[in-house]
Structure formats: structure tokens, C-alpha cells
A = this chain, B = another copy of it.
Amino acid sequence: MSNGPSTSTIHSMADVWEAYRAELDGVEHQVRQNLDSSVALVNTVAAHILSSGGKRVRPLLLLLSARLCGYTGREHYQLGSLIEFIHTATLLHDDVVDEADIRRGRRTARKVWGNQISILVGDYLYSKAMAQIVEFRSHGMNEVLAEACTKMAEGEVLQLYYNGNPSMPESDYIKIVEHKTAGLIAAACRMGAILADASEERQSALFRFGQYLGIAFQVADDTLDYNADGERLGKTLGQDLRQGKATLPLLHLLDHCSEQDRNMIKDRMETRTLSPEDLERILGLMQSTGSLAYAMERAKTYIAAAQHELEAFEDSSARRALIVAADYMITRDR
């Protein structure tokens, strides 16, 4: 195993994927190895979603964090695959909660096998990951991962609590995003550092890196939901609003539009109805009030804060890759 390419060859995300392809292949191999349930249907359903073209962002961040801290071993294949199992478990449950029919252009597991199977295979993947993680006998890893999972569930509940309610403080929006998305990414980064036996200081720096980056990732995602070019991603615009979810650009818009528009938006959120004309009006308003620009600016600020955490580390190809990966988190074609 080489320590990766020289720093100077990593300029774009394509360079990162290229440089760490062998490492990510190792993760893929381990993902397949871990699908060893004695109940065949469990493996079938898990494989359906695990092979649906996810980018393996969390395993990538885990392995880059490990390499950044000087790790030269191979245990990150297994750890990366377990983080992906947990992420996949949350997707299975999220698709049930959101009644989603399509994910990454394919029918969701709940659409193919039903909600019941999706819930239970999600439970399986989560438990299976915990059962394997404890085999590392690292209290730090056990702690950060279980804590992240607890926070994910809390974030999802808080999001549901506010469903259909446009009067959410921005601080609660950030809390939701931090819990439901950033927690697991931050845990992945810290786990890489723990694997490398890094100091508590470095572990914490990488945890914060992941946390900022995770918040930015979700804020950008929520913003792209209102961005006209978003259709390129195969997504229908305005899905969050249609599901009654208030996100950062909408909260900004609600604070900056006329009473009449505010009432229209509130009505659509509460009734979960949104005509193409409504959507067009809202998208136009978001342009004129600068709501999209505001939200993307927030995302960029979080990315800058994440990258700032890397300044404590010496230059290396892993550090360069983390900087590039951070920028990539808020681009539309990730």
C-alpha cells in the first residue's frame, strides 16, 4: 500500500477518486463480505441499496482522516464498510419515513419489498455494524459511533416535530442538520483518527472538521432542492416544501417576503400542496430575496471552518484530498 500520490497531483475531486480508488475498492470488497446473514432476504435487500451507486463519502472521509494521521494499515476497509452500513440503515428508515419511491434513480427497498422489510433490514444493518465495530475493542470508536446514532434519531424526530410548521428558529434548523447529517460524518472522521492512534487533540480537530463539513453538505443539499439546475440531479424541485420541511433557504425567504407570500407558503407547507405555479413563484422570490445565495453562503462558511481545522496538520496528499473533498461537498454534481 503506497501512501498515495504526491500532494501536487490532487487538484480536483476526480483526482481524489483516482488517487484513492484502490482504497475504496477495499471498502467495497468488505461491504460485500459483511453481507453474510443466514437469512438470504436480508442480504438481498441490503445489497439492493448498498449497490445503488452511493459515493461512499463517509468511508472516504474515514480513510483520509486515518491517512492524515499517519495510519498505514488496512483496518479502514472494515471500518469504512461499517460506517456505510450505518448510513444505509438510516436511508432505509428515512425512505419509509419520507414515503420515498425513488432513490438514486432506482426504486427504493420499501417500494420493492415494502415498509416492513425496510424497517427490519435497517435494524439489521445497524445492529450488524455495531456488532462488528465492538470487535475493534476501541472504547473511543464505540462511544463516538453510538453517540452519533443517538443524535441522528433525535435529529430526525425533531425534524418530524417541525413538519408542516414554518415557524422554526434557524437554530433548530441547524440543530436538526447537525444531528441528522453531520454527526455520522464527524464520527467517521474521528474514527479514522482513532484508528491511527492520533492524539485527542487531532481526533477532536477531525471530528469538528466532519461536523462543519456535514452541516455544509446538508445545507447545500437543502438549497439545491430549490435550485433550477437541480433537475440535472434527477430530483424534482421543491420536494422538501412538498413534504412540509422548512429548510434554510425557505426560512430566509419567510423572513424576507411579503405577508401575502408568507401566508401562501405557510398554507402550502401545512396542506402539503404545491402547484407548479406556486413553486415557480417561490423560486423567483428566493432569487429576488437572495435566499438561495444566503444559504449557499452559510454552507461555504461552514466549509471554510472545516478546512480551517486542517491547518493544524502537516501537508500531505490526504490533507490536500480532504480540502478538495470539503469543497466538493457543496457542489451540485457530487
Contacts and interface: CB of A to CB of B under 8 A. Distances in A.
A82 to B, nearest CB: 11
A37 B156 CA distance: 13
Contacts of A156: 120, 123
A38 B128 CA distance: 27
A123 B37 contact: no
Contacts of A121: 153, 157
A153 B39 CA distance: 10
Contacts of A154: 37-39, 42, 124
Contacts of A38: 154
A41 B172 CA distance: 14
Interface residues on A, range: 35 or more
A139 B134 contact: yes
Contact of A39 (B93, B137, B142, B158): B158
Interface stretch (A143-151, A272-280, A286-294): A143-151
Contacts of A160: 116-117, 120
Contact of A41 (B123, B127, B135, B157): B157
A161 B149 CA distance: 28
Nearest to A113: B160
Contacts of A79: none
A3 to B, nearest CB: 32
Interface in A150-176: 150, 152-154, 156-158, 160-161
Contact of A134 (B37, B135, B146): B146
Contacts of A128: 150
22 contacts: A39-B154, A39-B157, A96-B116, A96-B119, A97-B120, A116-B160, A119-B119, A120-B153, A121-B153, A121-B157, A123-B126, A123-B153, A124-B157, A126-B126, A127-B149, A127-B150, A127-B153, A128-B150, A130-B130, A131-B143, A131-B149, A137-B139
Closest 6 CB pairs between A and B? A124-B153, A131-B146, A127-B149, A134-B142, A123-B153, A127-B150
Interface of A: 37-39, 41-42, 93, 96-97, 115-117, 119-121, 123-124, 126-128, 130-131, 134-135, 137, 139, 142-143, 146-147, 149-150, 152-154, 156-158, 160-161
